[in-house]
Structure 1
Amino acid sequence: MKEQLQPLTALRIFSFRGIQMRTFHITWITFFFCFFGWFGVAPLMPLVRDQLHLTKNEIGNIIIASVSATILARLFVGKMCDTLGPRISYTILLVAGSIPVMCIGLSNSYETFLLFRFLIGIVGASFVITQFHTSMMFAPEVVGTANAVTGGWGNLGGGVTNLVMPLVAASFAGLGLVSEESSWRVAMIVPGVILLVMAWIYYKYTQDTPSGNFHESLKRREARPKGKGTFLLALKDYRVWVLTLAYAACFGIEITVDNVAATFFIDRFDTGLIMAGAMASIFGGMNLFARALGGIVSDKVGRSYGMRGKGMLLGVLLLLEGVGIHLFSASDTLILAIITMLLFALFLKMANGCTYGIVPFVNKDNIGVVSGIVGAGGNAGAMLVGFLFKSESMTYADAFQYIGIGVSIIGIVVLVTRFQARQEPVKQQMSLDLQS
């Protein structure tokens, strides 16, 4: 019984026993379906573009809007986790996010579609709760791997969405319920309903920490982070800013690709809607193992070389990601584009996992706030590069070329950053954590 009240020191992937592993699985599954709500309309944009007569500039604004609300939402949700706890925070977010997801089908103009796409962005804050909740359930020596697995398997939803949502829309049209042009409207009801179901499951079957929920007793409240989510303390740490920049260069690019991949393949290689969605899903499918691999390698490097080693690993991964994106932008055949996409996807998603293998150790009293700030950085990066895709004078391939250069520069910045403020190996820090 005592073991059940403590964070786990090992990740038992195929186990559902104990509140820690039950929460682990519910958390990544919930995050997985959040991607259906967040990016469900992305592979359907060719249909939306034709029906609402959208220009390239307007589509660029929509891409920016889809990630903009997430920036503020992630900062706010990080604070909520430190005060209300992840269970209540996730439940509120899922219910609130389901509304614009289901209502986006009511859009009849560029302006209304832009508004709903902006509001849907709050669903992206689910990532912060996922990482926070996982950090509560696992001990320091395995938390990097656990965070990477929940994040990676959840992000997998971004790839599956590209494959599934065109099929959902086609099914409604095939049944004669709606026309093919309007099928995207009805299709978006499906992820909205799923979010409501997951809100109920999360509230009923998880708890905030292994020992209980934040609100249950004064004694259990001591289990929550002591720093009360102070933004100022986190913002004073230069390492938080560097990790924010790094996450903009990996996760920020990932959700950008989730947004534009299907349209890119249709416009550049003249594929059909379902085929383009399938090609785009390959990118997201790398999350099945690549982000987890980044977390596993990060934990192993940390045990041998401390935080400095983890930082150098992250820098190298970002450099390789930048090179891969450049090769992708120069691809002139569909096969070559897929191969280079898989190449940069591997390094990108490993960098995601590596980043959040560092986050829990930067400020242990304010994990929620640091997770929120770094997570918001990912969306800030996506918002900024979104401006490249709205330019009438720049092709999507040109935009990816500039992105590759930017990611490589950030990789160099991370490489020269000293993540370790004090000369103590991360293994020693973990030992102290377990004793306290």
Structure 2
Amino acid sequence: MSTSKLNLLSFTGKMKILHMTWLAFFISFVVWFNHAPLMLVIAEQLKLSQSEIKTILILNVALTIPSRIAIGILVDKFGPKRTYSTLLAVGSVPCFLFAAADDFQQLALARFLMGFVGAGFVIGIRMVGEWFPAKQVGIAEGIYGGWGNFGSAAAAIALPSLALLFGGENGWRYAIACTGIIALLYSVVYFFSVSDTPKGSTYFKPKRSGAMEVTSIWDLFFYILMTVPLYGALTLLTWKLSPAGMKMLSDTAAIGTYIVIWALFFYNVYKIVHINEEHLTRPIEEIHRYKFKQVAILDLAYLVTFGSELAVVSMLPMFFYQTFHDTQGISMVQAGLLASGFAFMNLVARPGGGWISDKFGRKRSLSIFIAGLAVGYFVLSQITAEWPVLLAAAVTMLCSFFVQAGEGAVFAMVPLIKRRMTGQIAGMVGAYGNVGGVIFLTVLSFVSPATFFITIACTALVVGIAVQFIEEPEGHMAEVMEDGSVAMIELS
């Protein structure tokens, strides 16, 4: 991958912003996933049941779906510097609460609140999009996403060792508290080290906050339709915790939660209509229009890329162990190491996907990555106990490349739709990634791993067809300056 136009060793100008911002994302992911590598120790010390462990894992992602939407609105209104600094500082609080918890209820509440930290990804998309031109935004967003996303793997590597270093029965508490301290300190460093835009540039903000602006009545209906799966995923998570699922919520609590979720949906619909009704009553000049289908297709693409990654990373260690333990004698530790290759590909695959999009076209690149993803998951569905373990690992890595390169290609296009709403667009696309994770993990709870992989492959084929209707960003994007003049932002 050529990075001749991006000096990764530089720490000035836009490169400083990129490094400071991917590190903020990295820390947010360390905090978000700090429980995972220590979960067995925590469960043993606090006498948690298997059902309670699964509940904590679900709660860790439950708030991320609505919080990515909310953070998208906040970053567009207040700017990424203030929003990221605040998120890291506020996110340290549930981290400390989790470290101090003495029972399941305290753990569950802290973990639920921790899901808000997972929305940090959205903020950096807007920040990087402000600092890098269209010809470099793909690789820059890829580096931001890929290197920052590695925070979850870093937590898995570092935190068990840190807990052992502290020693004693409270070692895990000190290790988790350390991640909160790091987030709190870095929130101050980030605030005083970055600016929202290059000097002399304008930070464009939406005219009204609360929902995205659309530019046609049909896009208004399309927008409302695309919000339904977000609330559907929250409903599905509630069902998992209800008496029909893991029995962690009573019937009354589950019904109450369903009512709250769908009341929020109707309030969201009201906000969407309210924010758009005034300007849609007048003709909108062609120069100021954008097509919401661009957002919708990227939603679906991220659902199948990042959504499948979330699901596969969760099940892959056990899949390798159950497939190869009896025939080839691999241990749980070896299975975990083999599976870790899927996450490690983030370091190169996501930046690679962004770079390829910059160089060879965004629609073409995304189409190829989605097709490769579909083939990759189909091949994974064919793995049996007779396969050589190394071949299975190699196929997994190859599939992972297409998955994460696809993620890079998605966010190579997100900043090129409508600058003043980049945060909200990134929030919705990012939330769809979590929706995909919820859907695919739910499918896995009912079917075999082979059927699970085929389900993802078939979903990818459908999404691949949808991608053919996306339009390559070309020409210029128009935004209105504070003095009423029109600024033209290059898209190619």
Alignment TM-score, normalising by the size of structure 1: 0.81
The corresponding residue for 1:301 is: 360
After superposition, where does 1:75-224 map in structure 2 within 5 Å? 75-173=69-167, 178-179=168-169, 182-211=170-199, 222-224=202-204
For 1:328 and 1:428, locate their aligned partners in 2 and report how far apart those are by CA, in whole Å.
46
For 1:88 and 1:329, locate their aligned partners in 2 and report how far apart those are by CA, in whole Å.
50
Give 2:204's aligned amino acid.
R
CA separation of 1:352/1:169 partners in 2, compared to 1, >3 Å: closer, same or farther? Answer: same
The corresponding residue for 1:12 is: 7
The corresponding residue for 2:414 is: 359
Give 1:99's aligned amino acid.
V
* 1:398-418 deviations in Å (ceiling 9; x for gaps): 3x4344223222322222225
Structure having the higher Rg: 2
Contact 2:92 2:181 in 1 (8 A): yes
The corresponding residue for 1:412 is: 461
CA separation of 1:70/1:366 partners in 2, compared to 1, >3 Å: closer, same or farther? Answer: same
The corresponding residue for 1:374 is: 429
Contact 1:68 1:118 in 2 (8 A): yes
Give 2:11's aligned amino acid.
F
The corresponding residue for 2:404 is: 349
**Gaps (5+ residues) in structure 2?**
224-291, 479-487
Give 1:91's aligned amino acid.
S
**1:226 Cα deviation from its structure 2 partner:** 4.9
Q: Which moved more, 1:228-237 or 1:124-133?
A: 228-237
SS at 1:40's partner residue? coil
Contact 1:328 1:340 in 2 (8 A): no
* 1:196-246 deviations in Å (ceiling 9; x for gaps): 12101110100111127xxxxxxx6x4324555642528632332232222
For 1:283 and 1:347, locate their aligned partners in 2 and report how far apart those are by CA, in whole Å.
11
The corresponding residue for 1:24 is: 18
Higher RCO (CA-CA < 8 Å; seq separation 6+)? 1
- Which structure is higher in helix share? 1
CA separation of 1:272/1:203 partners in 2, compared to 1, >3 Å: closer, same or farther? Answer: farther
Q: State whether structure 2 residue 278 is matched by structure 1 residue 246.
A: no
SS at 2:407's partner residue? helix
Contact 1:163 1:278 in 2 (8 A): no
Q: State whether structure 2 residue 278 is matched by structure 1 residue 284.
A: no
CA separation of 1:186/1:337 partners in 2, compared to 1, >3 Å: closer, same or farther? Answer: farther
| Match of residue 60, structure 1, among 51, 54, 76 | 54
Residues matched between the structures, number: 401
The corresponding residue for 2:212 is: 231
**Gaps (5+ residues) in structure 1?**
1-8, 213-219
CA separation of 1:123/1:142 partners in 2, compared to 1, >3 Å: closer, same or farther? Answer: same
Alignment TM-score, normalising by the size of structure 2: 0.72
**1:52 Cα deviation from its structure 2 partner:** 3.7
Q: State whether structure 2 residue 65 is matched by structure 1 residue 71.
A: yes
CA separation of 1:156/1:168 partners in 2, compared to 1, >3 Å: closer, same or farther? Answer: same
CA separation of 1:73/1:346 partners in 2, compared to 1, >3 Å: closer, same or farther? Answer: same
